[in-house]
Structure 1
């Protein structure tokens, strides 16, 4: 399901309406770290709260959508009424010829004309019209966008559409649902629905093209002596070997653990052809004990190797002591 309607996005993030982009980003990060489902397993309330937080950030972090929301042109879910099309934009005469007679007519005027309600004017036999196209937005979880999935989109009129999310879907990618727009008239075909996918940020993973990046903490012992540790990937946890002498910033690659490959290009004007799968890059972050360890302190105090110059490459930077 597309989920319940979000409340005011400024209220969700605890912001004033004149909040800066930096304040919006900071508020989102603070709340996301607290409520992300990965950090609150089994807590449905936290999951619902995170979806609402992500939706609010999605709208307010987009300058154009924020401006349109502030002007009242779209609602808090980013939805708007389809633009009112004119009859002659879609109408066809007998044999498929484009209808050109008369002034612009709305759908209401069209029905009035066809049924003889425009001051006695008769209808035009054989006229058919293609339905109007409509546009929607759909918020999708990061992992669903990477791995693919199916979501249900609730439309303003209460109908629901099932949307297939192709593996590797990008943020702001547009999916076309043929024949799911406004119904046609007089035997004309229905319009299409265009769904713009908004991929929600993840608390752990980031994406660059087809590669996934993640920062993984390791203990001092694991970094110095090496270890086998479990790390998350978009397809589930795997074991990774940490080499001896690893340091903060050491980056290890997991081949084939990025965005899955697929045949054909994604929708929305992206290049066609086979799309190769990506890799996952694990950046290590060495973590000292949270509390001072007396044994470690005594060792370091007597460790001759602790006097090495680790900042020599910073010399010549234009500053003097």
Structure 2
């Protein structure tokens, strides 16, 4: 029945007082406004709070079950009836939960301190939300989870698997799609919080954070690499091993290569992109006398000015 306080808590009419309290605490864990900003969650929490406020009192519960009072605690018709379309709390202006030691114990576990009233009806001033609405309140979809997923660079571009630890405990094996980008969100259906009753579990949303790589950088589907070459390789050219995201390949260095020169490896990027290799001449750790003498003689006969044509500073 719409507006049934037992349904709002997801318990049967034969539930014990302890079962009712546990059900309310379970809802508070997922739907309390300080934990969940979804307006629908706030309404569910307000409805559960009002229901618990009615049913926690043994005498009120007995009179409600007997049809002597309605959900607002008022003497009315022998059968409890909701008020479709009525504003405010479906159970009337229930007393604030902050002054209730029993409810304070419930929230102490959730927030690390005893609950305190923040205004009129209900805990945290949320007693004024609307009624239960239609459907079975005992069948509630589980909450979605939003988590950060740290992925190393090569796993992101190649694809792979990663294991994460869930907030509620346990681990989850995640398939990383090939070419996933930094900031991309992966949705895992049904991997969020479990539902209540016959409610479906929520989803898990993983925001990917790709770690930097010491050699590669990414621009769209292209990969960029700075490749050091020796002085003799720059002068004479030749083939050298160049790292790629799929392993090293032979790269032809043209004769007379210079620092800053770019070469392209087609199809060696992400999902068919290219890899761009920027050459950078690396001098030997030590210039010995023989090398110095060679270049002194070479410079006397072949000197050139690589800065010719550059504008002078004013």
Query: Shorter chain as normaliser: what TM range?
Result: 0.5 to 0.7
Corresponding residue of 2:16: none
Corresponding residue of 1:219: 230
2:263 to 246, 252, 261: 252
What whole-Å deviation, never above 9, does each CA across 1:46-72 have from its counterpart, x for those lacking one? xxxxxxxxxxxxxxxxxxxxxxxxxxx
1:297 to 292, 295, 314: 292
Corresponding residue of 1:126: 136
Shift >6 Å, 4+ stretches: 121-125
Distance 2:311 2:167 in 1: 63
Mark the runs of 5 or more structure 1 residues left unpaired by the alignment. Answer: 1-81, 91-102, 262-276
Corresponding residue of 1:208: 219
**TM-score, normalised relative to structure 1:** 0.59
Q: Would you say how many aligned residue pairs link Structure 1 and Structure 2? A: 210
Corresponding residue of 1:190: 201
Within a 5 Å distance, the mapping from 1:136-215 to structure 2 comes to 136-215=147-226
1:238 to 249, 254, 259: 249
Distance 2:302 2:204 in 1: 64
Mark the runs of 5 or more structure 2 residues left unpaired by the alignment. Answer: 1-32, 66-70, 72-131
Distance 2:288 2:50 in 1: 82
Corresponding residue of 2:280: 285
Does 1:311 find its partner at 2:307? yes
Shift of 1:216: 0.9
Closer, same or farther in 2 for the Cα pair 1:293/1:308, shift >3 Å? Answer: same
Closer, same or farther in 2 for the Cα pair 1:108/1:181, shift >3 Å? Answer: farther
What whole-Å deviation, never above 9, does each CA across 1:142-200 have from its counterpart, x for those lacking one? 00000001101101222111111111111111111111111111211111111011100
Shift of 1:109: 3.5
Q: CA RMSD in A?
A: 3.0
Closer, same or farther in 2 for the Cα pair 1:184/1:204, shift >3 Å? Answer: same
Distance 1:244 1:83 in 2: 67
